Structure 1
Amino acid sequence: MKKNSPSNLSGVLFFPITPFAANGDVNDAALAEHVQRGVAQGPGAVFAACGTGEFNALEVGEFETVVRVAVEATAGRVPVFAGCGGSLPQAKQFAAAAKRAGAQGLLLLPPYLVSCPPEGVANYVEQLAASTSLPLIVYQRNNAVFTPPTATRVARLPNVIGFKDGLGNLDAMQRIVLAVRSGIGNKPFQFFNGMPTAEMVQPAYRAIGVPLYSSAVFCFAPEIALGFYGALERNDTARVEALLQNFYAPLVELRNEVPGYAVSLVKAAVRLNGIAAGPVRAPLVEPTPKHLEQLERIIAAGRALAGPKSAAA
C-alpha cells in the first residue's frame, strides 16, 4: 500500500544518485538496485534525477530512462518525483518526459545561469506549470529567489503543491511560510528544507513550520538518516545533538573541501555499499583517496550513534 500521496508527504525523502556504467551510459541495473534498496527502508518518497541524481548532467533521453527505472523499482510503494529545470523550453521537455516515464510529480529546479528578478522566476513557474498536469514542488535556491508575494502567487497555481528552500535565510523563509499560508486558504501545501545536508539545519526549519527535508544521507546510510529523523520526532535532543556533532558536522566540513562534493561524496558512499554507481560526470570531480578515508570514518561514527530506526520506518 502506498505510504504517501504526492500532495501529502511525510518521513525521510530519498534522493537517489544516478549510476553510470564504464562506457558512460546510465547503468539501469545499478539504479534499480539502488532504488529498491532505498525504498525497502521506508522513505516517504523518491526524488529521481534531481540534484543528487546529477540532473544537470543528463540529456532528456537519459533523464526519461532514469525516471522510468525509478518508477518501476519503486513499484507504487511511494510517490516518485522527477527533477525538472533549465531553460523554459528544456524544462517543458523534461516535464513531458517525466510524465511519460510515470512520475507522479516534479521538483522544479532553478533556471540555468541567468540573473532574474522574483517576478521573472514566478513567470517561469507559471509557464512551466501551464505546460504539465503533474504536481510541482518549486525549489528556491541560487538564482531562483522568491519574495512572499511571488511565492504566494505561484503557490496559488492549481498544480503547485509545495515550496522547497535551499537558501537558508530563515527570516525570509518564515515570512514566505506565513504569507503562503494566509494567501492560499485551505489548499493542501507543504514546505521543504532543501539545504545541502539538510539535517544540519532541520531543527531550525522545524521551528518555523518546515517539517520536511531532503536527505542525501539516506542514499548511503538510511539507518543514520532514519535514526536522526526518529530522534527529531521523539524530541530526543541528546541523540540529535550527538549525530549532528559526530556525523553531520564532520560530513559538512568534508563536503566543503571541494565544490561539488555534495554529490561526489554521496556517490562514493553509495559505491562503498556495493552499488556499481560509477563516477560522477564532469564538471564534478571524484573524492581524493584521503577524503574517501575520512568519509569512511565519518560514516562509521554515524552508524555507531544511529541506533534503531524506530520512529521512522
Structure 2
Amino acid sequence: MFDGVLFFPVTPFTASGAIDRAALAEHVGRGLDAGPGGVFAACGTGEFHALDPEEYGEVVSTAVETAAGRVPVFAGTGGPLPLARRFSRIAQEAGADGLLLLPPYLVESPAAGLVAYTRQVAAASDLPVIVYNRSNALFTPDAAAEVARMDRVVGFKDGVGDLDRLSRTVLAVRSALAGSGKPFQFFNGMPTAEVTVPAYRGIGVELYSSAVFCFAPEISHAFHRAVTTGDQDTTDLLLREFFHPLVSLRDKVPGYAVSLIKAGIALRGHDVGGVRPPLTDPAPQHLERLRRIIDAGLEIVERTAKEAGR
C-alpha cells in the first residue's frame, strides 16, 4: 500500500527520438533519492500514449532496475484491449509491482464495457491494478464498486474532479468491500493535483500524483507536509504563489501538463529531451514564466524551512 508523495517520472528521449535509458535511470534515481512513496513509470506524465511496446518495456525495466525494490514500481497500461493486455504482460516480465489502467482508446464506453475491459486487462497478468477514472473511462459508482471487488483491483484513481460523484463512488466502494479485509486505496489523479488536494482529502482521498515532484521535490514535499500537518498558512502560500500560477501557465496550451514538467526538469539541470508529437515543447516566453514560478516556489520552501528551524 502507498503512502506519501507519488512520483510519476517523465520518459526522456534522445535528439534522434529514441528512449534515453541513461537519462531515465538518472531521473528516476534522483527522484528516489528525494523519497517518494512509489514510482509510476510510463504513465500519463511518462507519455504512455507515445510509446510502442518495445519502448514501453525499456522504460518499465529501467525504472524497476533503478528502484531496486526501494519503493513499489507501477507501470501504465491501457489503450486498445489487445495492446493493454500486451503492455500488462510486458510490465510483469519487466518486474513491475503493479499497473495503472489508463483509458481505452478514444471510444466512449458504457459502464458495463469498462467493467469488462478492466476484467480482461486484469486477467492478462498477475499484477495488482489501479483503475483510472478520467477522459472517456468514466466509472459510475456502481461500476467502480464492481471492479473494486475484482481480486486484482486494488485502487481507484480519479482524474475527473466531480467531487459529488467521487464522494458517492468512495462510499459505494467502501460498502462493496465492507467486511472483506481487502486493502484498497483511492488516489487524486487531477493534473497538478495539489490544487485539489484539500477538497479531495475532505472526502477521504488522501493520496495524489505529484508531477511537480519530477522537477521540484522540495516543493512537493513541503506542500505534502503542510497539508498533512494542518499548516494552513504554508498550504495557502504554496497554492497561491506556486501551484495556481503553474496551473494558469499549464492551461495556456493543450499538453503543457507534460511539456512543462520536462521543461522544469531541464531548468533544474537535467536534460530529458522534448516531448513527442502531438505534444509540443513550451514556447520561450512560457519557459521564462516557468522559471519564475519555480524560483518563487523554492524561495517559499527555503523561507518556511528557516522559520520552522528545519
Deviation at 1:184, TM superposition (A): 1.1
Deviation at 1:294, TM superposition (A): 0.1
CA contact (8 A) 1:49 1:82 kept: yes
Aligned equivalents of 1:308, 1:282: Cα separation in 2: 40
Which residue does 2:157 correspond to in 1?
A: 164
> Unaligned regions of 5+ residues in structure 1, if any?
1-7
> For 2:106, what is the secondary structure of its paired residue?
coil
Which residue of 222, 225, 234 corresponds with 2:220?
225
Describe the superposition over 1:237-269 as per-residue Cα deviations: whole angstroms up to 9, x where unpaired.
000000000000000000000000000000011
Describe the superposition over 1:178-215 as per-residue Cα deviations: whole angstroms up to 9, x where unpaired.
01001112211000000000000000000000010000
Which residue does 1:5 correspond to in 2?
A: none
Deviation at 1:274, TM superposition (A): 2.1
**Is the aligned partner of 1:203 residue 2:195?**
no
Higher relative contact order (CA 8 A, sep 6+): 1
> For 1:161, what is the secondary structure of its paired residue?
strand
Which residue does 1:14 correspond to in 2?
A: 7
Which residue of 239, 259, 278 corresponds with 1:244?
239
Which residue of 37, 42, 59 corresponds with 2:35?
42
CA contact (8 A) 1:45 1:79 kept: yes
Structure 2 length normalisation: TM-score?
0.96
Describe the superposition over 1:213-253 as per-residue Cα deviations: whole angstroms up to 9, x where unpaired.
00000000000000000001110000000000000000000
CA contact (8 A) 1:136 1:161 kept: yes
One-letter amino acid matched to 1:61: E
Q: Residues 1-313 of structure 1: matches in 2 within 5 Å? A: 8-185=1-178, 186-306=181-301, 307-308=304-305
> For 2:280, what is the secondary structure of its paired residue?
coil
One-letter amino acid matched to 2:266: R
Structure 1 length normalisation: TM-score?
0.95
CA contact (8 A) 1:14 1:216 kept: yes
Deviation at 1:131, TM superposition (A): 1.6
Deviating more after overlay: 38-47 vs 112-121: 112-121
> For 2:40, what is the secondary structure of its paired residue?
strand
One-letter amino acid matched to 1:45: G
> For 1:164, what is the secondary structure of its paired residue?
strand
Deviation at 1:34, TM superposition (A): 0.3
User: What RMSD over aligned residues (CA atoms) do the two structures have, in Å?
Assistant: 1.2
Describe the superposition over 1:79-106 as per-residue Cα deviations: whole angstroms up to 9, x where unpaired.
0000000011000010011011110000
Deviating more after overlay: 116-125 vs 46-55: 116-125
Deviation at 1:118, TM superposition (A): 1.3
CA contact (8 A) 1:223 1:308 kept: no
Could you list the runs of 4 or more consecutive aligned residues of structure 1 that deviate by over 6 angstroms after TM superposition?
Answer: none
Give the percent of matched residue pairs that are identical in Structure 1 and Structure 2.
60
Deviation at 1:308, TM superposition (A): 4.1
